[in-house]
Chains A and B, each alone.
Chain A
């Protein structure tokens, strides 16, 4: 029984971190799908979200619900701002310049927050007290279940948005062929902006869920989280929305299983080893579409 409950608890843990990775990976994947940019600043948007939550609760003593809203809204605006200020002027320039700009933005966010908030970790107050649920003798943490639920709801909403609404159709069209979409009367700038907004809002939700699991904000918290979410996006097939979800859960589960067998120091190594194996065996990921090269 105890072995079973340990395994179950690890699986729940894995699903919890997996759903956070999945939400962040969705942002990476959507942005890559639409402008083929690896948005390295995405992880740092999460960091900013965590700081907004900390500011509004610990400094301005706002109600947690407002803090959550503020964080999500702040991330959304930040994502759009980054796109307008840094990526839009580079549309049409070589991919490498765009990638380096993204790295620059990530650097800038990290160092700005280090200057403003200091390098010390800030403790984020608990959003809501969520009681644990007992299945017989097995304790399941309430936070983990809420995280799973929130992630699932966000993903269903996102799928609806992308598949059923007019804006979603425009997003898919721009991802398919930017020029053709433009000829059909789709406003490219609005669509790209909207994609960044949605991706960053998901990062904001990810930030809140991450902070309820690990209630700390540090300037560099986004970089590792971002890298792992990015691995998740690549694993699932970058550019594919269901792929990002599958990848996120796979990475989360792999991490918690590695920790469960007592090798937690190798956790990061295993994540990157998965990345390398996936890239070598199937570079486009589990659900990615194959790239074709024209001469």
Chain B
């Protein structure tokens, strides 16, 4: 019984996913324009998008690279402040300065990621977690107090940086989500991505196969920082006001919770858990004081009963699912599948 397993060729896979993603954007936009999704829910959607980028970005360092950085909010802060300062100072029209701000924020966070990563990644395990925590806190303290050193107002410290044009909207948030997911996905499927995975599996074995540990660790760490910076820049345009205290240790932990619950190393897990953990508390406003308690209990329970996270390392692939359906039931080709606009 030799069966030929029909495969969907690679370009078609991308076309399917792109079409679904575009369809998702169009449906979302038209629902917002027709008023089915109210302004409040649009805001929730934007927050979900930002959190998805944050979670997916931390997932590079935690899930794929196998390290435990505890200072992710620091990179987000760098991106947010870079974009915000550029947008308020450049004098350009907001529609021009926002995309530039996004790119600048991401690049700046990436640069900081490389600068922190080179010394920090010499350490392993717990010590790496501690040193990134230290760097994250230092970024926060610097943002809080840099004005007194510079002698002029740059970040406005505890008084908050105000008046950032609120340019973030549904379309550009989810375009960024799509780009981030696509870039991370393609990176992880490339030679470099496999090298990063091998570092996670066994550093010594990877090194003996000729993989430059430092290079790939810093690469993974910097990629993680770049997307965190992008999310931060979106966050700046979403809130319109920035305060260093919102990028503390707790924010880093919140992002980590999302990654861990979704499953370290699973992109679909990250996307799902970021969506659920952002949407549920927003929709259950009445129970908001129990939100954090629920969070922490969930974290402990998941760690005790399923330490690899809800999704483990499983990654959903629409094309793979379609292939499966084609090969099992050739008669019923047009089965409907919901969601899953990303992940090739």
Contacts and interface: CB of A to CB of B under 8 A. Distances in A.
A272 B141 contact: yes
Contacts of A111: 292-293, 295-296
A135 B141 CA distance: 38
A105 B303 CA distance: 11
A38 B70 CA distance: 13
Interface residues of B, number: 40
Interface in B184-226: 204
B204 A227 contact: no
Given A100-B256, A101-B303, A272-B141, A107 B296 contact: yes
A267 B79 CA distance: 25
A179 interface: no
Interface in A68-120: 86, 89-90, 93-101, 103-108, 110-112, 114-115
B90 interface: no
Q: Dominant SS at the B interface?
A: helix
B218 to A, nearest CB: 15
B33 interface: no
B37 interface: no
A227 B249 contact: yes
Given A275-B134, A283-B123, A99 B129 contact: yes
Q: Dominant SS at the A interface?
A: helix
A268 B304 contact: no
Interface stretch (B142-150, B160-168, B272-280): B142-150
B20 interface: no
B242 interface: no
A279 B289 CA distance: 38
Contacts of A94: 307
A7 interface: no
B249 A223 contact: yes
Contacts of B267: none
A283 B127 contact: yes
A234 interface: yes
Contacts of A90: 303-304, 307
Interface string A227-258: 10011001000000000000000000000000
Contact of B253 (A38, A96, A107, A114): A107
Contacts of A36: 126
A9 B127 CA distance: 35
B322 interface: no
B297 interface: yes
A280 interface: yes
Contacts of A231: 134
Interface in B35-82: 68
Nearest to B128: A279
A265 B145 contact: yes
B314 interface: no
Contact of B303 (A104, A234, A266, A279): A104
B130 interface: yes
A272 B256 contact: no
Contact of B145 (A110, A112, A269): A269
Interface in A12-51: 36, 38
Given A272-B134, A272-B137, A108 B300 contact: yes
Given A111-B293, A266-B141, A276 B129 contact: no
B142 A269 contact: yes
B260 interface: yes
A273 interface: yes
B240 to A, nearest CB: 25
Given A100-B260, A268-B141, A38 B299 contact: no
Interface string A202-231: 000000000000000000000100010011
B129 A107 contact: no
Contact of A95 (B126, B141, B144): B126
B150 to A, nearest CB: 14
Contacts of B131: 275-276, 279-280
B138 interface: yes
Interface string B245-289: 000011001001100100010000000000000000000000001
A295 interface: yes
Contact of B126 (A38, A108, A223, A275): A38
The 3 closest A-B pairs by CB, nearest first: A104-B299, A107-B296, A108-B296
Given A104-B297, A107-B295, 7 more contacts: A86-B304, A99-B129, A100-B256, A100-B260, A107-B296, A111-B295, A111-B296
Interface of A: 36, 38, 86, 89-90, 93-101, 103-108, 110-112, 114-115, 223, 227, 230-231, 234, 265-266, 268-269, 272-273, 275-276, 279-280, 283, 295
Interface of B: 68, 119, 122-123, 125-127, 129-131, 133-135, 137-138, 141-142, 144-145, 148, 204, 249-250, 253, 256-257, 260, 264, 289-290, 292-293, 295-297, 299-300, 303-304, 307
14 contacts: A86-B304, A99-B68, A101-B303, A105-B300, A107-B292, A107-B295, A111-B293, A111-B295, A112-B293, A272-B134, A272-B135, A272-B141, A279-B130, A280-B122
